[in-house]
Structure 1
Amino acid sequence: MGKQQHTAMQRLAAVLLVSVFAAMLASCGKEPPRRDAQSRPAEIPRTPLPTEQVPVPPLPPAMHSVDDYKRALAAKILAATPDGAFSGTLPPLLTSIVVVEAKIGREGDIVNLRVARSRDQKASNLALAAMRAAAPFPKPGKLMAGHHKTFDISETFLFNKEYRFQIRTLAPVQ
């Protein structure tokens, strides 16, 4: 084996080692709590915010794109659950990330709601409760294809250690 091949093998080994280490770090986290059949989903905490108020952006007058609709949906969620949200810079390490998928009917009603990704049952329950509290949503209007009965959308909830969230669509860029 030549010196160039040996150096290339060392680089490859280093890249693989870093990749494995990064994957191990990404998989670290709390195990989701076990729920028995009698337990109920968590409610959105109703504790007052210390000194901050979560700014709620106004609803756009006309929604011409999916991004406009997602901003309107996120604003509606924040308006419905101000005590469950936080504002400002995201912490360097989030407690939980929950992706919720929703099927929205022509009138803005929730036809179906499910957690698509989560490792934390408490955060999942809070995200679902926030979505339900904000319903009905704005009517999707022209964003829906003529023959479809629902408008499918997903939203990501980013939770801090106090289990308060920011919505990815409106979260500040890091």
Structure 2
Amino acid sequence: MKRKASTVTMCLMALISISLAGCVSGLIDRLSNNSPTIPANAATPTNTTTIDGYKRNLAQRIVAVNSTKVYIGRPQALLRAVIVLKFYIDADGQLLRTQIMRTNKDRAAEAVAMLSVKNAAPFPKPDRDLLRKGEIEISESWLFNTDGRFQLRSIADAQMDE
């Protein structure tokens, strides 16, 4: 009986420790600029009724999900690559397709940009007024520094001077 009680106590202590670690970790993430918080349910409708506002919401989502690949601060003066993607999202926030519109043939940067969109899906549901034929078309630019990390143009800081 005593052994059973100590096992239950140890399990409860482990659960409490895990719960507290998750709370502290989440708090640290929210307080840190380097690790934006990912919305719990990305497919919820957004309050944004403009394409630019919705595009900023998407950029924030992409950055949050791919935070380890994002450059914090001002992008360098001469960028390694600028990749422009066009992607389509349906009324439910599902990614339909993605295509490269501009590239300097940096295959690694292209792959990171494409994967960052895919990883961030599903997206917040777009406002119905933004949809054309049941989808919304978004173009976004990935600005890559020489270290391979990126910022998205719609939420990026101004580039450094040469």
Count of matched residue positions in the alignment of Structure 1 and Structure 2: 122
- TM value normalised by structure 1: 0.64
Per the TM alignment, residue 56 of structure 1 is displaced from its structure 2 partner at its CA by: 3.6
Which segments of 5 or more consecutive residues in structure 2 lack a partner in the other structure?
A: 1-31, 40-44
The structure that is helix-richer by fraction is: 2
Do 2:47 and 2:127's aligned partners in 1 also have CA atoms closer than 8 Å?
Answer: no
Q: SS in structure 2 opposite 1:111?
A: strand
CA distance in 2, matches of 1:139, 1:88: 29
- TM value normalised by structure 2: 0.69
Q: 1:55 to 1:170 in 2, by over 3 A?
A: farther
Q: SS in structure 1 opposite 2:71?
A: coil
Q: SS in structure 1 opposite 2:155?
A: coil
Do 1:143 and 1:151's aligned partners in 2 also have CA atoms closer than 8 Å?
Answer: no
Corresponding residue for residue 134 of structure 1 = 120
Q: SS in structure 2 opposite 1:86?
A: coil
Would you say 1:172 and 2:152 are equivalent positions? no
Among the aligned pairs, what percent are the same residue? 31
Q: Which amino acid aligns with 1:169?
A: S
Per the TM alignment, residue 163 of structure 1 is displaced from its structure 2 partner at its CA by: 0.6
CA distance in 1, matches of 2:122, 2:48: 16
How much is the aligned-residue C-alpha RMSD, in angstroms? 2.2
Do 1:66 and 1:143's aligned partners in 2 also have CA atoms closer than 8 Å?
Answer: no
Do 1:101 and 1:153's aligned partners in 2 also have CA atoms closer than 8 Å?
Answer: yes
Q: Which amino acid aligns with 1:94?
A: L
Deviations 1:3-32, CA, capped at 9 Å, x for gaps: xxxxxxxxxxxxxxxxxxxxxxxxxxxxxx
Q: Which amino acid aligns with 2:86?
A: E
Corresponding residue for residue 108 of structure 2 = 122
Would you say 1:158 and 2:138 are equivalent positions? no
Q: 1:54 aligns with which of 28, 34, 44?
A: 34
Corresponding residue for residue 22 of structure 2 = none
Which segments of 5 or more consecutive residues in structure 1 lack a partner in the other structure?
A: 1-51
Q: Which amino acid aligns with 1:144?
A: L
Do 1:102 and 1:110's aligned partners in 2 also have CA atoms closer than 8 Å?
Answer: yes
Q: Which amino acid aligns with 2:119?
A: A
